Amino acid sequence: MGSPADSGPQGPRPGEPDRPLDAQERAEYERLRRHAGLRHRRLRTCVASVLLALAVLLAPLGVVGAWASSQINDVDRYVQTVAPLARDPAVQDVVVERVTDGVVARVDVRRITDALADILADRDAPRFLVDAARSLDEQLKDGLTTAVRYVVKKAVTSDAFAESWDNVNRGAHTAAMDVLTGEGGGAIEIKDDALTLNVGAVVEEMQKQLVGTTLVDAEQIPGADTSIVLLRNDRLSDARDGARWLGVLGPWLPVTVAALAGLGVWAAPSRRKAVMSAGIGIGVMMCALLVGLSVVRQVYLDAVAPVVQSQEAAAAVYDTVIRFLRQAAVTVLVIALIAALAGYLYGPGRGATAVRSAAGQGVGAAGHALVRSGWDTGRVGAWLRTHRPLTTGTVIAAGTLTLFLWSYPTPAVVALLLLCAVFVLAILGVLAAATDGAEKH
């Protein structure tokens, strides 16, 4: 009868080295290892996909929220937004007609013609002259309208009107964001489901030019209650509530989108493909946002009744107010396309390989030419050659940080930063290649 030590599987004894795995055991081990690695890769892919999907879906809200926040928190940006309205010909024409009609309507033309007829009668003028004076209502009104329109147009198209418009909106910025806050007092307001353009404050600046040049008294000139209805819609209040929430969340939405995209790229098994996916997805969403703004513009213009406001002025107001939003969407689109292109160029594709090869040959030729001309990069070139991934990452990170800290980047700013980064990388590559050329020489 065997001892207990002889029964059961025998493991390695203390102090005895493990025996090597045989072919079957090694195959099983590799299978389990591949299975565990595959599960880990699938988990990372799932997490990265969720994070990138959230970043892509929130990207339009991030752009709109950042734009809304800039209008609320930056008075200079708000003034830049509404400043062109006072200089737009379509808006100026509407203001001229509205103010002219208001001024002429407050003048009692019948009282003037009756007074003129009474004066002629007191002077024993012929009867037909007295009757003619009493029938001058329309002619006097037409002449007064022409005179008032001339003076008002001269005032509205002057630099003083534009400067007054900017100053009034700058001073009333806190209460001027009724579209986003509902508090009123600014250039664009929502009152009882009506979108209005308020020009009353700056119309008061024209009083000094109108008084004394026409038959108008100061109290007859429309003042702070002058507003032009642009649109009536019973859903404007809901739109304002949504815009208010965007104004509150605006500063955090872009940061959230950037954080989600960064975490998604970091968690992905293939970071290059993740960068390309994020770039393409965000680019598509920016195109959708631009299309949506065009659709909303057409819906807005279709809702503007000709009896309420001219199509030209309404279009000018819409285009002026959202132009910075459209610019921000185009900027993000350019950034997304650059990210997708960079991810492709770092990949194994035939076109990417050809581009990298051509760039490497050009940098190498420039470095060798630098050596032949007598330049010696020495230790600097050797360090750059050894730490090329570090220097490349530092330049890209510096350009990204500069773009992130830029107050309001535009497509031109993005292009300039990209050219600067490429130029710096090319210079560093030439210096590193010069070391190789010196060693070969």
pLDDT on residue 379: 80
- Cα separation, 341 vs 343, whole angstroms: 5
Structure tokens at 280: 């393409």
pLDDT per residue as tens digits for the range 200-232: 555 555 555 555 544 455 455 554 445 655 555
Structure tokens at 151: 């003076």
Query: In whole numbers, what is the pLDDT of the chain averaged over residues?
Result: 76
pLDDT on residue 369: 82
- Cα separation, 344 vs 57, whole angstroms: 22
Instruction: List, as one string, the DSSP characters of 391-407.
Output: HHHHHHHHHHHHHHHSS
pTM of the model: 0.73
pLDDT on residue 2: 45
Confidence of residue 234 (pLDDT cuts 50, 70, 90): low
pLDDT per residue as tens digits for the range 5-34: 444 444 455 544 455 666 666 666 666 666
- Closest CA relative to residue 324, chosen from 103, 68, 117: 68
List of E strands, 119-207? 188-191, 194-198
pLDDT on residue 364: 82
Residue 214, helix vs strand vs coil? coil
More confident residue, 209 or 39: 39
Structure tokens at 225: 């209650």
Share of the chain above pLDDT 90, in %: 20
pLDDT at 76 over 80: yes
φ and ψ at residue 388, rounded to 5 degrees: -60, -45
Contact yes or no for 206/99 (Cβ under 8 A): yes
- Cα separation, 227 vs 99, whole angstroms: 10
- Cα separation, 267 vs 257, whole angstroms: 15
pLDDT on residue 290: 95
Residues 6 or more apart whose Cβ sits within 8 Å of residue 212: none
Q: Which residue has the tokens 């950037």?
A: 258
- Cα separation, 114 vs 135, whole angstroms: 9
Instruction: List, as one string, the DSSP characters of 299-365.
Output: HHHHHS-TTT--HHHHHHHHHHHHHHHHHHHHHHHHHHHHHHHHHHHTSS-HHHHHHHHHHHHHHHH
Confidence of residue 261 (pLDDT cuts 50, 70, 90): very high
Q: Which residues pair with 147 in a beta bridge?
A: none
**pLDDT (average), residues 144-150:** 78
Q: Which residues pair with 85 in a beta bridge?
A: none
Contact yes or no for 247/241 (Cβ under 8 A): no
Q: Which residue has the tokens 């040959």?
A: 361
Contact yes or no for 112/215 (Cβ under 8 A): yes
- Cα separation, 309 vs 303, whole angstroms: 10
Confidence of residue 194 (pLDDT cuts 50, 70, 90): low
Give ∠ CA 335-255-73 in degrees, rounded to 5: 100
More confident residue, 206 or 167: 167
Residue 87, helix vs strand vs coil? helix
Amino acid at 189: E
Q: Which H helix or E strand runs over 232?
A: strand 227-232
More confident residue, 312 or 28: 312
Contact yes or no for 51/260 (Cβ under 8 A): yes
pLDDT on residue 3: 46
Structure tokens at 36: 């565990």
Contact yes or no for 342/393 (Cβ under 8 A): no
Residues 6 or more apart whose Cβ sits within 8 Å of residue 102: 222, 226
Alpha helix segments (H runs only) across 211-310: 236-249, 253-267, 271-303
Share of the chain above pLDDT 70, in %: 63
Q: Specify whether the backbone of 79 is left (phi greater than 0), alpha (psi in -120 to 50) or beta.
A: alpha
pLDDT on residue 243: 63
Half-sphere exposure of 210 (CA within 13 A, CB side): 31
φ and ψ at residue 229, rounded to 5 degrees: -75, 125
- Closest CA relative to residue 196, chosen from 84, 65, 91: 91
- Cα separation, 337 vs 334, whole angstroms: 5
φ and ψ at residue 194, rounded to 5 degrees: -125, 130
Q: Which residue has the tokens 């308020």?
A: 198
